[in-house]
Structure 1
Amino acid sequence: MMRKQGAITVSIIPRGKGLGYAQYLPKDQYLYTKEQLFDRMCMTLGGRVSEELFFKRITTGAQDDLKKVTQSAYAQVVHYGMNEKVGNVSFDMPREGEMVMEKPYSETTAQLIDVEVRKLIEGAHKRTTQLLTERKEQVAKVAERLLKQEIISREDMIELLGKRPFPEKSTYEEFVEGTGSFEEDTTLPEGLKDWNKDKTKGPEETEKQRA
């Protein structure tokens, strides 16, 4: 289900009784196809659908995810011209917190937009439900690992689920290329070494103070 393009690191951490999902990309992607945006909606709906499938009840934990999915759906229909019924038109979308006194389209168009947005979200929800239902065993493996170590990384996901069935556009190796190491270098620069030593005293006095 997780088909986000160019994903490098996956971290899944507990969020209350639900899950938090973080994904880091080394390269910005400015152009998305209709199919890619739909896949992102499905990925974002994974938490809510998991609640429905495994706990048979929903919580407030998915509020932010639902907000993102709704914004994406409206953007596709209203802004990007990706809906056949609404057509190849693009209306300015209000920014968050911005007051809109008058819509740039008729009430009939507004109703059509609302219907098409709901259809798009329902389609993503249905597909996500199907995917998670087919892969219940894999989801259970991830949940069991989370109970043991609280945070799971990309390497854990590969161990549990295997490698991705399609090639990655970017790899972790490419991301760290040129840094010289896969491990973080915490060595202080030459000019900052011994910054906390008293320069008014000689080496012998400094060693006595440490002792």
Structure 2
Amino acid sequence: LFDQAKKTSPSIIFIDEIDAVGRQRGTSINTNDEREQTLNQLLVEMDGFDNRQAVVVIGATNRPDGLDQALLRPGRFDRRVTVDRPDWNGRLAILKIHTRNVPLAPDVDLLVIARSTPGMVGADLANLVNEAALLAARRNLDSVTQKSFDEALDKILLGAERPLVLSEEDLKVVAYHEGGHALTGLLSEHADPVTKVTIVPRGQALGVTMSTPLDDRYNYSKEYLLTQIVTALGGRAAEEVVIGRITTGAENDLQRVTALARQMVTRWGMSEKLGTVSFSERGSPFAVGGETGAPTDYSETTAETIDDEVDRIVRSCYARSVDLLKTHRPTLDRIAQELRRNEVIDSRQLQDIMQETGAVIASPQSLPQGIPRVITPPEIAPPLPEMNGTGGEQIA
């Protein structure tokens, strides 16, 4: 490869997923000799360029922290460019490219779609356009409509609708569970706008409450994070307040709030007891052999304090959820009743219910530039900083 590049220079060598061969060499007993030999040869080839040879070597990875340091020294991959998720302007430009050869109906607004897809990258948007075109083709439409895009986005984010016959009791539980999520979001000042609630089973979920930030977020306040926990616990709280017993339906919610509370305590210095201190783990999750059980850099006593603080945050947020739902029980009943009747409630219907029952919406519910709806469920919303990996691709 390198010989051919030198012969045909000026040329570019692009190595995608370079971490597959350039991962850190280390002490793991699972060291792969073949991979290390490949890495060593790559280093030799990169050192063998003459300054007069016009060959550029580019590598791309989603795991820059796991690359061997020898690859990153000056003279090799010494320039790094982070390619992050696009903002709404970037998504709009990408959508224009992917829809150039797609017949669009007059009602399609690419700006609305761009604003409705926070966290999506180019491949996601290309898939969205393709899914919308397939839906339009199945219905023998001459062009792709806005409704086609909305349904395609639902399918991508939530999964396909699945036929599932629930008992009346299960329907009641799911309706109140999702109603609890929606109502706590509507009543919380720092919550994202609630845009849609459904009890139609999709993917592995029996119901979904959807919300999205008014704009792309790059920073998160403590108040916002606590509100995320309050709304995530709204489903479990509604089960306790109305049904009188709890179910397994809150499994994903509990996983999310526990992880978020722990991040607040250990990484972002948001613990009242521990203060502005960050507690990290030694080692890298991308080390050779997939070593993820890295030791901590704090004592057992501190670990117990961290657990106590995580528990305190979750308990206080849960108490807040219960209090909100008890105070606004008539509104919760109306939302659940409407869900059982129509299966889906949009943002305008939610606002009507709030107004009719005398409840005051605390969170902002209008999107910029007249955008009617967006659908990013809390379960699969764009990750908070460093919660789910790097979030972007780095090119060296």
Relative to the length of structure 2, the TM-score reads: 0.40
Say whether residues 1:100 and 2:100 are aligned partners: no
| Cα separation, partners in 2 of 1:15 and 1:63, compared to 1, 3 Å | farther
Moved more, 132-141 or 157-166: 157-166
- In the alignment, residue 81 of structure 1 is paired with which amino acid? G
- Structure 1 residue 91: deviation in Å? 2.4
Say whether residues 1:124 and 2:312 are aligned partners: no
* Residue correspondence of structure 1 range 79-158 to structure 2 within 5 A: 79-92=267-280, 99-158=292-351
- 8 Å CA contact retained: 1:132, 1:139: yes
- Structure 1 residue 104: deviation in Å? 1.6
Which secondary structure does the structure 2 equivalent of 1:11 belong to? strand
| Cα separation, partners in 2 of 1:167 and 1:135, compared to 1, 3 Å | closer
- In the alignment, residue 37 of structure 1 is paired with which amino acid? L
Which secondary structure does the structure 2 equivalent of 1:152 belong to? strand
- In the alignment, residue 10 of structure 1 is paired with which amino acid? T
Partner Cα distance (1:74, 1:46) in 2: 19
- Structure 1 residue 19: deviation in Å? 4.1
Question: Which of 1, 4, 11 is residue 196 of structure 2 equivalent to?
Answer: 11
* Residue correspondence of structure 1 range 17-28 to structure 2 within 5 A: 19-28=207-216
- 8 Å CA contact retained: 1:79, 1:91: yes
Partner Cα distance (2:300, 2:276) in 1: 18
- In the alignment, residue 124 of structure 1 is paired with which amino acid? C
Which secondary structure does the structure 2 equivalent of 1:100 belong to? coil
- Structure 1 residue 128: deviation in Å? 0.7
* Percent identical residues: 29
Say whether residues 1:172 and 2:367 are aligned partners: yes
Which secondary structure does the structure 1 equivalent of 2:215 belong to? coil
CA RMSD in angstroms comes to: 2.8
- Deviation string 1:10-30 (CA, Å, 9 cap, x unpaired) is 211116696421113351222
Unaligned runs of 5+ in 2: 1-183, 374-396
Per the alignment, residue 55 of structure 1 pairs with: 243
Partner Cα distance (1:20, 1:106) in 2: 40
Which secondary structure does the structure 1 equivalent of 2:350 belong to? helix
Per the alignment, residue 33 of structure 1 pairs with: 221
- Structure 1 residue 4: deviation in Å? 6.7
